[in-house]
């Protein structure tokens, strides 16, 4: 994991690496997931996982008490009792050379991919976010159709729906509205992210940029599935799977 998604790439505010567990324990079964929830923990316990590799850290903030009085405390307590360790790469995985943003850009058909905010060493494929170009300009409707097809999702939300064309696109998985200004400064006409605040949407409208909101889950879940495949290829003696019970908590009615 450290080679694939170096923890040094993580943001300063993040909580990454081994968060629960004993480094000396043997590992035979590993489950990947986007988020540690009561449902994913139940699956890990039922399938006797030794390790959960979760994109979102658990715990994320410091805990003064480890009790079942809170949801987070109850989850950590249950994991510890079951002997299940937790590892999170989080923003290190977002920014890695072959991380979530890089692969999201590839899935969306973008070429000439480079980091939106490169690391200090200047390597173009390491750093926060991505930007790239479509082979030819598209209308936003055409671009969104391709997005939905390549991510197997039914709907997205957009800002400036009638703006055209789309060609230079920025990507920030998860909650990436804060990248809007940087995307505009680097000449992007569109930002694709998981979610953004209402005021960020208004800002995009005022700047004349298109904003494509995939949903936080859809913008990142595919990556923990491919991560399970990649880890499985590297550790053939270990049973590794992506959570089968994890679902997007948001739905349309």
Question: pLDDT, tens digit, for every residue of 76-103?
Answer: 999 999 999 999 999 999 999 999 999 9
Q: Is 180 helix (H, G, I), strand (E, B) or coil?
A: helix
Homologous superfamily, domain 94-214? NIF3 (NGG1p interacting factor 3)-like (3.40.1390.30)
Q: Supply the pLDDT for residue 136.
A: 96
Looking only at the bridges linking them, the beta strands covering 166-175 and 127-138 are: antiparallel
Q: Which residues of 79-107 are buried (b: 16+ CB within 10 A; e: fewer)?
A: beeeebbbbbbbbbbbbbeebbbbbbbeb
Q: Supply the pLDDT for residue 204.
A: 96
Quickly state the pLDDT bin for 119 (edges 50, 70, 90): confident
d(CA 50, CA 41): 11
Q: Supply the pLDDT for residue 251.
A: 87
Q: For the residues 12-22, what does the mean pLDDT come to? A: 95
In the chain, where are the structural domains located? 17-88+221-242, 94-214
d(CA 45, CA 57): 18
Q: For the residues 104-109, what does the mean pLDDT come to? A: 95
Q: Supply the pLDDT for residue 124.
A: 74
Quickly state the pLDDT bin for 106 (edges 50, 70, 90): very high
Give yes or no on whether 17-88+221-242 and 94-214 have one common fold. yes
Residue 216 has pLDDT above 90, yes or no: yes
- 93 with 223: CB under 8 angstroms? yes
pLDDT > 70: percent of the chain:
98
As a whole number, the mean pLDDT across the chain is 94
Quickly state the pLDDT bin for 120 (edges 50, 70, 90): low
CATH 3.40.1390.30 fits 17-88+221-242, yes or no: yes
Q: Is 140 helix (H, G, I), strand (E, B) or coil?
A: helix
Q: For the residues 126-146, what does the mean pLDDT come to? A: 95
Quickly state the pLDDT bin for 188 (edges 50, 70, 90): very high
pLDDT > 90: percent of the chain:
92
Quickly state the pLDDT bin for 253 (edges 50, 70, 90): confident
Q: For the residues 15-38, what does the mean pLDDT come to? A: 96
Q: Supply the pLDDT for residue 28.
A: 97
Q: Supply the pLDDT for residue 162.
A: 85
Backbone Cα Rg of the chain: 19
Residue 122 has pLDDT above 70, yes or no: no
Spell out the long-range contacts of 10-14 with Cβ–Cβ below 8 A and sequence spacing 24 or more.
Answer: 10/89, 10/90, 10/91, 10/92, 10/95, 11/91, 11/128, 14/57, 14/90, 14/91, 14/92
DSSP state of 25: S
The structure's pTM equals 0.92
């Amino acid at each position: 994991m450290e080679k694939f998604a170096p923890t040094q790439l993580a943001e300063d505010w993040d909580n990454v690496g081994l968060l629960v567990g004993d480094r000396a324990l043997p590992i035979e079964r590993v489950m990947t997931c986007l988020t540690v929830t009561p449902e994913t923990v139940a699956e890990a316990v039922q399938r006797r996982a030794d390790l959960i590799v979760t994109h979102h850290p658990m715990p994320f903030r410091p805990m003064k008490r480890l009790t079942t009085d809170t949801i987070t405390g109850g989850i950590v307590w249950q994991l510890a009792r079951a002997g299940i360790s937790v590892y999170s790469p989080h923003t290190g995985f977002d920014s890695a050379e072959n991380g979530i943003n890089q692969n999201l850009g590839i899935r969306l058909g973008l070429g000439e991919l480079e980091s939106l905010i490169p690391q200090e060493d200047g390597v173009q494929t390491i750093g926060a976010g991505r930007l790239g170009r479509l082979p030819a300009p598209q209308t936003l409707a055409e671009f969104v159709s391709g997005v939905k097809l390549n991510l197997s999702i039914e709907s997205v939300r957009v800002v400036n729906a009638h703006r055209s064309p789309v060609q230079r696109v920025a990507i920030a998985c998860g909650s990436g509205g804060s990248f809007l200004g940087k995307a505009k400064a680097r000449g992007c006409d569109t930002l694709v992210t998981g979610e953004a605040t209402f005021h960020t949407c208004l800002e995009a409208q005022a700047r004349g940029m298109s904003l494509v909101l995939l949903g936080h889950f859809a913008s990142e879940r595919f990556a923990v599935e491919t991560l399970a495949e990649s880890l499985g290829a590297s550790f053939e003696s270990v049973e590794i799977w992506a959570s089968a019970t994890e679902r997007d908590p948001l739905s349309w009615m």
